[in-house]
Amino acid sequence: MADGAAAEIFSPLTDQDPASVAGYRLAARLGSGGMGKVYLSYTPGGRAVAIKVIRPEFSEDPEFRRRFLSEVRLAERVQGLYTAPVIDSDVEGHHPWLATAFVPGPSLTEAVVGHGRLPVSSVLFLVAGIAEALQVIHRAGIVHRDLKPSNVLLADDGPRVIDFGIARAADATALTGSGVTIGTPSFMAPEQAEGSTVTEATDVFALGQIAAYAALGTPAFGEGTAHGVLYRIVHDEPRLDGLDQELRELVSGCLAKAAGDRPRTDEVLRMCQAASGETQLRRPGNWLPDAVAADIARRAAAPVPPSSHPATQPVTEAAPQAAGAAAGRASDHAAVADAETAHAPGTPAAPGPAPAPSAAAPTAGPGVRQQPPGFGPAVPQPPAGFGGPPPTVGYGPPGPVGPYGAPGPPRPLPPRRKSNAFKIVAVSLVVGSLIVVGGCSMLVELVRGASSAAGNGPASPDERKPKAHPEPAAYKDIELPNKYFLAMSDDPLEPRELGEGGETSELTYLNVSTDGPSLGIDRPNGKLSLLKNSQKGSLATCRNETRFTDDVRLNRLAPGAQLCLRTSSGHVGLVTYRGHSPEGDPSDYVKLDVTVWRDAIEAKDS
């Protein structure tokens, strides 16, 4: 690759960039976006990875961190042919980051801007690949929320979807309303523009916009100010003049205003198959035009960290085994990137095993770049461009071996917990004193409190005090059968069968009425509320809600609808309805996601 072409794709690291992140030596900066900066690095086995370091503004927001932790854990479960596997992360450190496999190809945005609209055959294969990616993402309980051309990378064997689910964490922080933009208006769905509930159908709408963009070269709802574009998305029809007839039904269906009118991802795949004449979607040879395929080929050589991992340097005993395992795991995944801007290059010749970690970092001086706080030791600054003299440090300070053989940062020991035995001894001494002085009534109260403190059982409801900031407990994909209920105090939260007397306990699914199936609650056990589309499901919303009901019919619920549950025992639940058992299924159940805040409100006697 020419130096000029490389410079357009990879930016050399500056004094403001870290030299390594948790043991990953950085080779170049790939880009930056609303969430943070993205860097190129390699596993010890030589596979390229993209590392996204989250912006400090987000890192300092507790709600963002909580959501980010949840979303990354879900994203780690996504392993599809057309998705970017998350292979490593630190979501709780001072600088949160995540690493994905790296794709040697341009984004769809770059391909269309640089080479124009794609032919029908390419668009059909593109849409089918993204639809398969969405199926895997949705099965993991994730809605992408920010599917757009720059989050679709083009590899020589098909598209790759990146950044799934991360936008949801950004939505949780106040920064999104104070100058930090997450999401692209031109590729949002009507429900996003209106601030309503986001569901899997939201991603299908974005898929229709991507198909139109790839086939026409321009967004379906035009460009301009965010307010203008969002107004057209909600109120106007898409501009599809010039769209090939083979794509018209597919694109129009995905761009239906009502979420319920859009096709499911499996229907999208069938429509792609039909539009291709019931033949294989993959054509012999390149699936992309020659100009785009040549662009991918030009990105085949990526820069490496300065004199990265010289093979002659010794490694630690654990490093060869870990590096071999890392290379094996990396080869199981398609190379995928993680950036909101340009991603490119592939894997250079394997640079060899990682060097042993240095005992100490070099002191400041000429040619030494100092690390920003929290990123590790200083690393020698290479000369202009890429390459340079061998560094005197390895992958970071000594510590536990990471998933790819790189030593990770030392982890602090967990705080020592005081033994319950200590509590019991202390209580016994006090009890003896009380017996001597005849404090029998105080003794009863003290023993009751000691039993609770020592973990011998929960306090009774009238003794529990509501917590100002209780920790949420999330339970995904609960299948609640007919005549079963959920008790918010259960952990894990699992369906329990109603008693023969028909008594209910908190959230119950019943399909025994002529009015149809419903989710309900007996009023003595708590209160149930159906949230409006404009309301954001949260602990604060559920605490303040006053529109109570005994039950909600399923015909009033669309996938993604949310209900608040406040129990007489002091727990708060946020219930997200995901759907009903499919027709023909021998079981009758509803699928729910439930988040519980225990002891979040004052307990009431039933």
User: Cβ atoms within 10 A of the Cβ of 157, count?
Assistant: 15
Contact 81, 132 (CB under 8 A): yes
Q: Which residue in 397, 445, 401, 450 sits closest to 421, CA to CA?
A: 450
Q: Which residues of 439-460 are buried (b: 16+ CB within 10 A; e: fewer)?
A: eeeeeeeeeeebeeeeeeeeee
Residue matched to tokens 């604060």: 540
DSSP characters over 446-481 = HHHHHHHHTTSSPPPTTT----SSPPEEEEEEEEEE
Distance, in Å, from the CA atom of 349 to the CA atom of 366, rounded to the nearest integer, reads 31
CA geometry: angle 433, 437, 438, nearest 5 deg? 110
Report the DSSP pairing between strands 36-42 and 24-32: antiparallel
Which secondary structure element, helix H or strand E, spans residue 420, and what is its range?
A: helix 420-437
Query: What's the residue count for the chain?
Result: 606
Contact 69, 87 (CB under 8 A): no
Residue 52 annotated as binding?
yes
Q: Which of 88, 146, 163, 522 is catalytic?
A: 146
Contact 342, 58 (CB under 8 A): no
DSSP characters over 283-338 = PSS-SS-HHHHHHHHHT-----STT-S-TTS---SHHHHHHHHHHHHHHTS-----
Which secondary structure element, helix H or strand E, spans residue 577, and what is its range?
A: strand 572-580
Cα of 93 vs its chain's centroid, Å? 17
Q: Which residues contact 410 (CB under 8 A, 6 or more apart)?
A: 397, 398, 399, 400
Q: Which residues contact 511 (CB under 8 A, 6 or more apart)?
A: 482, 517, 518, 588
Distance, in Å, from the CA atom of 536 to the CA atom of 130, rounded to the nearest integer, reads 28
- Per the annotation, the verdict on 163 as an active-site residue is no
Distance, in Å, from the CA atom of 242 to the CA atom of 248, rounded to the nearest integer, reads 10
Distance, in Å, from the CA atom of 89 to the CA atom of 408, rounded to the nearest integer, reads 11
Write the single-letter amino acid at 89: S
The structure tokens listed for 602 are 């004052």
Write the single-letter amino acid at 278: E
DSSP characters over 91-133 = SSSSS-EEEEE--SS-BHHHHHHHH-PPPHHHHHHHHHHHHHH
Q: Could you give the C-alpha distances from 335 to 159, 162, 345, 536, 561, in angstroms and in order? A: 11, 11, 10, 36, 36
Which residues are catalytic, by number? 146
Q: Give the residue numbers of the binding site for ATP.
A: 52
